[in-house]
Amino acid sequence: MSTPTPQDLAAQTTAAKTADHPFSLLPLAPAMLANLQQLGYLNMTPIQAASLPFALAGQDLIAQAKTGSGKTAAFALALLSRLDVRRFAVQTLVLCPTRELADQVTQEIRRLARAEENIKILTLCGGSTMRPQMASLEHGAHIVVGTPGRIMDHLERGSLNLSALNTLVLDEADRMLDMGFFDDIVTVAKQCPKERQTLLFSATYPEGIAKLSQQFLRNPKEVKVQGTHEASKIRQRWYEVERETRLDAVSKLLLHYRPASTIAFCNTKQQCRDLVDVLSAQGIEAIALHGDLEQRDRDQVLIQFANRSCSVLVATDVAARGLDIAQLEAVINVDVTPDPEVHIHRIGRTGRGDAEGWALNLASLDEMGRVGNIEVMQGRESEWHPLNELTPASKEPLLPPMITLQILGGRKEKIRPGDVLGALTGDAGFAGSQIGKINVTDFHTYVAVERSIARQAVSKLSSGKVKGKKVKVRFLNEL
Ligand code: ADP
Ligand code: MG
């Protein structure tokens, strides 16, 4: 039997006549297939089905698909299939725009790499000290995931050697360009061996991508999965506002629809700050995510939002793109974006999986041109509703379902999520269902608990032990 060409295979993996596109169509090792099954990855996502046949065949690739479409596995499976574990040298470099994204990518690769023992993956990002990173590099790694600036630092110091590299991945390439990393990417790519595979992933396709690809990709196969969300899952509504009533309208939306988790997109950082002030004044828990935050504060913001102890994340597009946040009931577009593709992108964060989501949009008269462009792009007319139909759905304040407790002590103290869960469900006697996400960072552990048990949980944890030791616990925010 002859091996199918990537083209043949792609025709099969993307065949429309069946809804199922099992990973078993791909030339993957049985252990990998079993691991995918265990992870609950039963079928390829569309971008995976479109790109993996080419990526696994070693071709260069430009792949475009919206956030949350499974792009990480689309490159991770390719690089893992080529990895030689016995060769202890950096064989893959993945460039990501921010540390959070690098962390997310690292986690996903780790999950996918479980089928094979002893694969060493290192994350190298700014915001952490160089010395431990250099020590880790000395111990060696197969895969490095990092931000362009920090990777460049290591290359300059000679602590990172790329001579054995066979795969270069540019993840979230559009975002890296937004952040001004073009020159850094060029510098890093020039230090990679010429004989290599280059995979470029992006949610949108701005001009700079073509420029990058002309310089660094060889005959890339371009695959694009259109950002058509299932219209039925995202219910979109528009409201006309005046300049002065815009921010107030956001709280009206929140109190009317009462979503448990919302991202509110603003076009500027100033607008983000103003909105947080307006919402906080009304007792709505909102936090801003923007580029000026210290790394630690940024981490805390994301932890609180992802564990559902903050109702509203207020963000600019640059700050929020790429973040993988499930369970979002609503997206509010506080300002209309000038780029209709960005609009599609923003609203694609709600209505994931089987859940329904709201996309609620505010527009003033001077933004109607932008609204028109969005209508053209979406191929349908906007559904306008009057602002005065927004009435509070309940007299109760809009409170997030969970509360975050912060435990002093983290990875450095060898605390693991299971230790905290054990302390809460063991001696303290809480049900597992009352405990939410647990995040362990170097020096702190964050655990989300149901609002109704928060005080009790703090006192039980403080009087009991975690990992055999007494710990200090507090609410991350005031109650
Ligand atoms: P993107 O990079 O396109 O924004 P991610 O790679 O972060 O998307 O994937 C989004 C989520 O989907 C992740 O939580 C990932 O674990 C999950 N995922 C990816 N591929 C599959 C699959 N084939 N089946 C089920 N879940 C998947
Ligand atoms: Mg991604």
DSSP string, 365-402: GGGHHHHHHHHHHHTS---EE-GGG---S-SS----SE
Query: Given the DSSP bridges, would you call strands 435-440 and 444-450 parallel, antiparallel or unpaired?
Result: antiparallel
Give the 3-state secondary structure of residue 20.
Answer: coil
Specify the pLDDT at position 2.
62
Specify the pLDDT at position 317.
87
Amino acid letter for position 457:
A
Closest residue (by CA) to atom 15 of ligand 1? Answer: 70
**Distance between alpha carbon 240 and the CA centroid of its chain, in Å?**
31
Tokens of 106: 């690292």
Specify the pLDDT at position 321.
66
Tokens of 13: 């993996």
Tokens of 243: 């300049």
Ligand 2 midpoint to CA 175 (Å): 10
Mutational pocket test of ligand 1: of 28, 42, 45, the residue with most ligand atoms within 8 Å of the beta carbon: 45
Q: Between the CA of residue 307 and those of 46, 108, 357, 410, what are the distances in Å?
A: 28, 19, 18, 17
Q: Which domains does the chain have, with CATH numbers?
A: 6-224 (3.40.50.300), 231-389 (3.40.50.300), 402-475 (3.30.70.330)
Threshold 0.75, pTM exceeds: no
Q: What is the pLDDT of residues 198-252, one digit of tens each?
A: 999 998 777 788 888 999 999 999 998 875 555 557 899 999 999 899 999 999 9
Q: What is the pLDDT of residues 110-159, one digit of tens each?
A: 999 998 888 999 999 987 889 999 999 999 999 999 999 999 999 999 99
Are residues 364 and 243 in contact, defined by beta-carbon separation less than 8 angstroms? Answer: yes
Ligand 2 midpoint to CA 143 (Å): 17
Specify the pLDDT at position 55.
97
Specify the pLDDT at position 104.
93
Q: Between the CA of residue 164 and those of 31, 160, 193, 428, what are the distances in Å?
A: 25, 11, 8, 52
Q: Please indicate whether residue 67, judged by its CB atom, sits closer than 6 Å to ligand 1.
A: yes
Specify the pLDDT at position 353.
62
Q: How many residues does the chain have?
A: 479
Specify the pLDDT at position 60.
97
Query: Given the DSSP bridges, would you call strands 234-240 and 312-315 parallel, antiparallel or unpaired?
Result: unpaired
Ligand 1 midpoint to CA 384 (Å): 33
Are residues 141 and 170 in contact, defined by beta-carbon separation less than 8 angstroms? Answer: no
Weakly modelled stretches of the chain, pLDDT under 50? 1
Q: Please indicate whether residue 41, judged by its CB atom, sits closer than 6 Å to ligand 1.
A: yes
Give the 3-state secondary structure of residue 200.
Answer: strand
